[in-house]
């Protein structure tokens, strides 16, 4: 089932990329992050992208690890922005500041997650990827904190965990083998420069009222 889910997500993403490539010259339509967007998230303080892979933590929860990587080209750094389990998040609708979302790893189908385990390097709060085929539990929900009314693509935002009030953060600690050089990602209780993230590379879904909406609905 995991392979089928990953294959389906990849096919959808490729189709959206093809449609997006036909929209050159319409950059103004993509100046915000929308529900369903597939993005890489850059920690602006440490210049690493949020990343995951099928490597489990050797301590703590033993769940799939989440790290930060310097490479801009790694496919394991794509995450899909989705609604919370009991909420609505219509494809192409801009994400509001203060909105609760799930952030789902494209390759493995697991959700960005945190809980009261200690992180392995800094002893902050462990951040993992959890669930199967995009479904986990209520600890997969994060609130987008930004300055205006919607999440602008060029804006640095924070992600505050709904269940524990921790901020998604990087403070620079580096792992050894088997993920040599990757940075620890963890939750912190305080808002500071280590928990700002910016949407970088990705596929930004058009709003539903745009002419391409019927193509997206078919994906």
Exposure on the CB side of residue 78, measured as CA atoms within 13 A: 20
Query: Confidence band (pLDDT; 50, 70, 90) for 118?
Result: very high
What confidence category does residue 7 fall into, taking pLDDT thresholds of 50, 70 and 90? Answer: low
* E strands in the chain: 38-43, 48-56, 64-69, 79-83, 100-105, 111-118, 125-130, 141-145, 158-161, 167-174, 183-188, 197-203
Q: What is the pTM of this model?
A: 0.83
Please state the rounded mean pLDDT for residues 134-144.
95
Distance CA 51, CA 57 (A): 14
Distance between CA atoms of 131 and 117, rounded to whole angstroms? 17
Label residue 6 by pLDDT band (50, 70, 90). low
Angle at 6 between CA 3 and CA 10, to 5 degrees: 135
At 146 the three-state DSSP class reads coil
pLDDT single digits (tens) 34-86 = 999 999 999 999 999 999 999 999 999 999 999 999 999 999 999 999 999 88
The rounded Cα 66 to chain-centroid distance in angstroms is 11
| The dihedral formed by the CA atoms of 82, 86, 92 and 95, expressed in degrees to the nearest 10 | -70
So what's the pLDDT on residue 85? Answer: 86
Given a cut of 50, whether residue 179 has pLDDT beyond it is: yes
Instruction: Kindly state the average pLDDT of the residues 156-168.
Output: 98
Q: What is the pLDDT of residues 195-217, one digit of tens each?
A: 999 999 999 888 754 433 323 33
């Amino acid at each position: 089932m995991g392979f089928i889910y990953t294959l389906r997500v990849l096919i959808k993403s490729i189709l959206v990329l093809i449609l997006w490539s036909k929209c050159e010259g319409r950059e103004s339509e993509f100046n915000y992050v929308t529900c369903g967007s597939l993005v890489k998230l850059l920690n602006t303080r440490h210049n690493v992208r949020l990343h995951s892979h099928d490597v489990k933590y050797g301590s703590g929860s033993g769940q799939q690890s989440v790290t930060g990587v310097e490479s801009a080209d790694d496919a394991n750094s794509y995450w899909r922005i989705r609604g919370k389990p009991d909420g609505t998040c219509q494809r192409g609708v801009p994400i509001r500041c203060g909105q609760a979302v799930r952030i789902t790893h494209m390759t493995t189908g697991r959700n960005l997650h945190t809980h009261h385990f200690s992180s392995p390097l800094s002893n902050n709060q462990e951040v993992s990827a959890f669930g199967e085929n995009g479904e986990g539990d209520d600890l997969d929900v994060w609130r987008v904190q930004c300055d205006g009314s919607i999440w602008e693509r060029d804006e640095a935002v924070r992600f505050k965990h709904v269940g524990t009030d921790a901020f998604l953060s990087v403070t620079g600690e580096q792992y050894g083998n088997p993920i040599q050089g990757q940075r620890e990602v963890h939750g912190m209780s305080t808002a500071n420069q280590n928990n700002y993230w910016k949407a970088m590379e990705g596929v930004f879904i058009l709003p539903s009222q745009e002419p391409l909406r019927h193509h997206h609905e078919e994906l």
